[in-house]
Structure 1
Amino acid sequence: MSAVPAASSSPSPSLSDGRPTAATGVAGAPATAAPLRTRLLGIGALTGVELLGNGMVMFSAAQLMHALGLTAAQFGLAYTLYGVAAIVMLCKHRWMVERLGYRRFAAGSLLVHAAGSLVCACADGPALFMLGRLLQGLGGATFFTAGRLVVNTLPPANRLAGMKAFVTGMFTASALAPLLAALLLETVGWRGLFLAALPWAAVVTRLALRHLPTDITPPEARSQAHWGWLLWLAVGSFGLQYAIQAIGVAPAELPMLALVAGGSAVALLPFAWRQWHHERPLLDYRGLARQRYLVGLCLYFAGYALIGASGLMLPWLLHVAGGVGLGATALVCSASVVASLAMALFHLMYGLRWPRHRVWMLVGLVLVGAGNLAIARTGTEALPSMVCAGLLVGLALPLFMGPVALNTFIELPPEVLSHATQVKNVVRQLGLSSGIALATFSLHVFAGGEGARAGMGGWIADALRGLAAAGGEADGLVAARLVFALLAVGVLPLGVVVAGQRVIR
């Protein structure tokens, strides 16, 4: 890893107004220090670190569980530890940048993330795997946020290009994840999923770190540590994340898990109250109490829940339940994400020229519902039809998420933009977790797994066995198809909310 220059003591524009002068471009570096293209490559590479690694892990969940002897609950606990570490670091993001500067912070995060990947690669059971995922969460949480905030350090004329680089990095990493995971599983083995993070870290170091701001914030303007409250946040977040993921593997415990989730959410209120009243908080909510921002957060949560659920279920339906080969499954999943990239860039170009944001969102939701319904109705043997259905879902999601992204932050004062991005990415983590939990819970209930018959799913399981016998399909395959049907139905109330709201129009 290249040496990190000493940080200066001037305030960082990337954390304040986001409006660098033409002379500085990226904070702490002259505008002529590097070609714009290299900076844009750096933004894309930085943004993709977490998405590539997490995408490979989620795609390979069944193989990892088999190789390491993990139960579904243990794999879910590892995911919870990753999520809690990510949430804590997202809340600590600004605090770290104020003291280290973005370049040092990103370099340290890359080291921690690489160390976590190495621990996972060396794991021979649940304990080391969970430790590695915890370290990956601590190191990887910063990259998505950093990639977005560094766009604000570009000169105003170049920020659209910066956003294109951010979006391209995000979707390219997500599209590569299934293909790379399938290739590594079939050639190197599951350990290669984590060892691949090491050369990627070297690429990011080469492309991104030298263009990141080195500025630090003067001591009198820095947010304070709040270590006790941070521990409180970690405990509350763990309870909430654990309850969310456990719903999918232990539906019979739903009342107790709901109690744990509710209690954890209530326990987080003192942390939020303390931050609200503190002079120099970790997260400054006071400037975020804007109707447009709050509505945007709710829509972000819903969108990421859809992404989490469909992202988990598509490879499960094709490979685990349907018996489609790993390579073909990866191609279907990656094609869907490539379609998302194309539509996201299209919307970025034309969404502001035709700013009928509610229309874009409603069209996206209609297509999401149609795509999920098509997946539910298509047999896994009809792979071309399944590809078309996956492409439809991929095209649809940016039509919903794009207007949300364009509108959520526009009324916020520049000085709270980094806080707003941190909070939004916490919501992103919770939305993904909730979507995955919803999908696994529904799959468990529909398939009549342990506890489902004693709970709410016995009659559903019996009906599914009848359908499976009539159609010559396994119970699990029918259950997976019904999860997609549930996702298709689930967009209806969301569409009603989008059509009825008067904030993002």
Structure 2
Amino acid sequence: MISAVTCVEFLETGMVTFAAASIMGGLGLGAEAFAFAFTLYGVAAIFMLYKHQWMVERLGYRNFILGSLALFALGAVLCATADGLGQFATGRALQGAGGATFFTAGRMQMNRLPESARFGGLLVFVGTLLGAVALSPLAAAGLIHLAGWRALFWAVLPLCALVAFVAAPRLSRETTPAGARSEEHWGWLLGLAVALFALQYALQAAQFALFDAPGRVFAAGAASVAALTVFAVRQWKRERPLINYRGLFEPRYMAGLLFYFCGYFLMGLSGFLLPILFLHGLQLDMLHGAAILSASMACSLIGALSHAAMARQHSRPRVFMLTGLALVALSCLGFGRWAGAGDWHLLLAPSLLVGLSIPFFVGPVAMGTFVHIAPAVFSHAYQVKNIIRQLGLSLAVTAGTLLLQWRYARHLDPQHPGMDWAARLLHGQPGLPAHAEALALASGDVFNLCAAGVLILMGVVAVQRVFR
């Protein structure tokens, strides 16, 4: 039941990400307009992660999760019936607000299980989530083939209804007494929403306007960081804050957040690059590309379950983390070596390896980050962790876009590496063989840069003394 609630958002997000080009074509949207919808999704998601505990205290988990499912379903209806950017972006914002807290809510419900059943419950929880992610490319390709892109959103409605029917009798109605609830003035919450929008806007605008209007991008980013810092300082001083930062200021937790960010960045970067490489660089058909991507993500499920089994016998997180990073670097070098060869068969092994390896890095982080967190602030700790997840994924797409544009332009015309026209070609359908070849080579270059970054991260993991 817990896993079913959480996998709804993971499945939908995976399908929308894979089918981005089909949705853009169906709605007649450019890449920048589509990215704006993703920006609103991110803003709504992070805002609701801030408000997660506030809502639970007043509504109880049963009403909160059922309301979130209804909001997510309403967003799906708006997206499915949209004929332009406005309605589609509104629908995605509602889905972000409704779906972002499923992960935290599901994880918090795990703590209600008996101690003896908790490890098995966590395995089912993780396995269901990763299974939904692995299924999403094939599900998206199949639905588009059968009924078009709108089916991606209609398909989640019966799933939401089924989950609500199963979960409702099993979720707690308990609320928090009024005197013990977290609190914040709505004016400050409005300021938080504006600051989050500015941050997500800066990350999105950097993909398209960093070299045209760098001042605007950096100003928005700096202003948002300053505003969020002020909000965090205010929360630090409050007796009943939305997020108790004082209780989270613990060395192991802080180190875990850093490694979580790196892990989600690697997931986001590979998830961004692989569809571009296979569908546009190598120009595979959608079903063929979806099969490869689903196989890669299925290896993540195998990796996560394998790590969980081995970690019970050999509790050496640093060894697992270094092993995972070494395999990530090896897979990235494989992409760098063969992405431009034009033969997708050569990229099967790196695709499977990158999926298999990342859980060996993230798994020990997940097991060790919350060890010293007090039960009273565990929900806050998980809220912050999921905010870090959202930021890591967003920054990965931004960094991947900028690096890909740079290398794409270099390969397409080394004498004139202009960013403007390269960006337009990148985000359209590269119809000429030269464009596809340049895109494949550029993808390989970005994977090589990723390998270099992973080697640096390995050095950090090797010398740190927290996760040993």
Same fold (TM over 0.5): yes
Deviations 1:418-453 (A, max 9, x none): 000001000000000001111111111112299x99
Match of 1:259 among 207, 219, 228: 219
Pairwise mapping of residues 390-405 of structure 1 onto structure 2 (< 5 A)? 390-405=351-366
Aligned to 1:359: 319
Aligned to 2:90: 131
Aligned to 2:367: 406
Deviation at 1:456, TM superposition (A): 8.5
Deviations 1:269-310 (A, max 9, x none): 111011111111111111000011011101111111111111
Q: Are positions 1:347 and 2:310 aligned together?
A: no
Read off the aligned partner of 2:48 and give its amino acid letter: M
Distance 2:367 2:273 in 1: 28
Aligned to 2:201: 242
Q: Are positions 1:296 and 2:274 aligned together?
A: no
Read off the aligned partner of 2:280 and give its amino acid letter: V
Pairwise mapping of residues 11-410 of structure 1 onto structure 2 (< 5 A)? 42-252=1-211, 253-379=213-339, 381-410=342-371
Deviation at 1:258, TM superposition (A): 2.4
Question: Tell me, what secondary structure is at the counterpart of 2:372?
Answer: coil
Q: Does the CA contact (< 8 Å) of 2:278 and 2:344 recur in 1?
A: no
Deviation at 1:383, TM superposition (A): 3.3
Distance 2:172 2:406 in 1: 50
Distance 1:369 1:402, change over 3 A: same
Read off the aligned partner of 1:375 and give its amino acid letter: F
Deviation at 1:250, TM superposition (A): 2.5
Deviation at 1:470, TM superposition (A): 13
Deviation at 1:207, TM superposition (A): 3.1
Deviation at 1:319, TM superposition (A): 0.6
- Name the count of aligned residue pairs: 455
Q: Are positions 1:440 and 2:414 aligned together?
A: no
Distance 1:366 1:289 in 2: 30
Q: Does the CA contact (< 8 Å) of 2:409 and 2:417 recur in 1?
A: no
Deviation at 1:225, TM superposition (A): 4.0
Deviations 1:311-333 (A, max 9, x none): 01101110122111111111111
Question: Tell me, what secondary structure is at the counterpart of 2:312?
Answer: coil
Q: Does the CA contact (< 8 Å) of 1:367 and 1:393 recur in 2?
A: yes
Distance 1:300 1:328 in 2: 31
Aligned to 2:376: 415
Gaps of 5+ in 2: 424-431
Distance 1:453 1:442 in 2: 18
Aligned to 1:430: 391
Q: Does the CA contact (< 8 Å) of 1:78 and 1:130 recur in 2?
A: yes
Distance 1:472 1:185, change over 3 A: closer
Distance 2:263 2:435 in 1: 34
Distance 2:214 2:99 in 1: 31
Q: TM-score, normalised by structure 1?
A: 0.86
Read off the aligned partner of 1:100 and give its amino acid letter: L
Q: Does the CA contact (< 8 Å) of 2:133 and 2:297 recur in 1?
A: yes
Distance 1:108 1:353, change over 3 A: same
Distance 1:472 1:85, change over 3 A: closer
Q: Which moved more, 1:393-402 or 1:60-69?
A: 60-69
Question: Tell me, what secondary structure is at the counterpart of 2:302?
Answer: helix
Deviations 1:94-116 (A, max 9, x none): 11111111111000000000000
Distance 2:204 2:463 in 1: 31
Deviation at 1:385, TM superposition (A): 3.1
Distance 2:253 2:218 in 1: 27
Aligned to 2:429: none
Distance 2:143 2:226 in 1: 43
Aligned to 1:3: none
Deviation at 1:240, TM superposition (A): 0.9
Distance 1:280 1:123, change over 3 A: same
Question: Tell me, what secondary structure is at the counterpart of 2:313?
Answer: coil
Read off the aligned partner of 1:484 and give its amino acid letter: F
Question: Tell me, what secondary structure is at the counterpart of 2:113?
Answer: coil
Q: Does the CA contact (< 8 Å) of 2:57 and 2:175 recur in 1?
A: yes
Distance 1:46 1:273 in 2: 33
Deviation at 1:226, TM superposition (A): 2.7
Distance 1:376 1:249 in 2: 25
Q: Does the CA contact (< 8 Å) of 2:252 and 2:466 recur in 1?
A: yes
Read off the aligned partner of 2:356 and give its amino acid letter: L
Distance 2:438 2:240 in 1: 55
**Which has the larger share of helix?**
2
Q: Does the CA contact (< 8 Å) of 1:102 and 1:215 recur in 2?
A: yes
Distance 2:45 2:189 in 1: 13
Distance 1:453 1:288, change over 3 A: farther
Distance 2:231 2:416 in 1: 38
Distance 1:57 1:471, change over 3 A: closer
Q: Does the CA contact (< 8 Å) of 1:361 and 1:498 recur in 2?
A: yes
Read off the aligned partner of 1:432 and give its amino acid letter: L
Q: Does the CA contact (< 8 Å) of 1:72 and 1:249 recur in 2?
A: no
Distance 1:207 1:492 in 2: 46
Distance 1:170 1:231 in 2: 32
Deviation at 1:334, TM superposition (A): 0.8
Aligned to 2:444: 481
Distance 1:290 1:454 in 2: 50
Read off the aligned partner of 1:485 and give its amino acid letter: N
Q: Does the CA contact (< 8 Å) of 2:28 and 2:84 recur in 1?
A: yes
Q: Does the CA contact (< 8 Å) of 1:249 and 1:444 recur in 2?
A: no
Deviation at 1:473, TM superposition (A): 6.1
Aligned to 2:427: none
Gaps of 5+ in 1: 1-41, 462-468
Q: Which moved more, 1:404-413 or 1:197-206?
A: 197-206
Q: Which moved more, 1:93-102 or 1:198-207?
A: 198-207
